[in-house]
Amino acid sequence: MFFTRWRTALAVAALLCGSTAMTFAEGIDFGVGFGYANAGKRKAGTLSIQGQDGSENPSEVTMGSGFMFVPRLTLNSGTFISHDLSFAYSRANVKVDLAGQNLFDQSTSIGQAMYNMLLHATPDGARIRPYLAGGGGFVMFYPPGAGLTSGVNTVRPGLNYGGGVRVQVNERWHARVDFRQTLAPNPRLFQGQDASGLFRQNQFTVGAGISF
């Protein structure tokens, strides 16, 4: 119930931000990006595994790489400023390792609802527009085997930043290349897991979209 309320509040906030920004927007882009997300096989905490002799053995939980899909709505509100609203869906393999022995290896889903402000190097209307991006939102971690519609997740606040370049192919269509990095507290994917530390994911996407 708590996480459902958070998701509802986030959706309402995004709609309000979108409605406000659209009032002043000089143009609107909608597009999708496809690419690769990598958490770098970084430690995501530890899990205590009971041995045959009854002893508790700490095992390392790590998160790795997978594909990524990102729908984006971009509001061009000024000469050098735009606003991105996005929901990034990615997959990442999760491993549990004990003394070099792989006890668990399975993929998990990650959803990221983010707002980013884009600062462009060239003015609105330019064919090629490099930019820096920065913002934040919420990261939803789903335990292995649970999908986006399962309602079972761990929600963490997150930062999102990076850069990219947008190319206006013609009056209607554009292409984008983006690199972002997300930082968030580590998720608790397993019962009893110590989830201290930070989750860090590098994201690279190539996409296209329509301009209004």
What CA–CA distance (Å, rounded) separates 136 from 133?
10
Number of H helices, E strands in the chain: 1, 8
Which residues face 49 on adjacent strands? 57
pLDDT at residue 1, rounded to an integer: 45
Has this prediction a pTM greater than 0.85?
no
Q: Which two tokens stand for residue 79?
A: 């000469």
pLDDT per residue over 151-205, tens digit each?
667 899 999 999 999 999 998 999 999 999 999 999 888 887 888 889 999 999 9
All residues at 6 or more sequence positions from 19 whose CB lies less than 8 Å from its CB, including other chains: none
What CA–CA distance (Å, rounded) separates 34 from 20?
28
pLDDT per residue over 4-47, tens digit each?
444 544 444 444 444 443 334 468 999 999 999 999 888 888 87
In degrees, rounded to 5, the angle at the alpha carbon of residue 138 between the alpha carbons of residues 112 and 28 is 60
Contact assessment for residue 33 and residue 67, using Cβ atoms and an 8 Å cutoff: no
Q: Which two tokens stand for residue 9?
A: 């509040």
Q: How many residues does the chain have?
A: 212
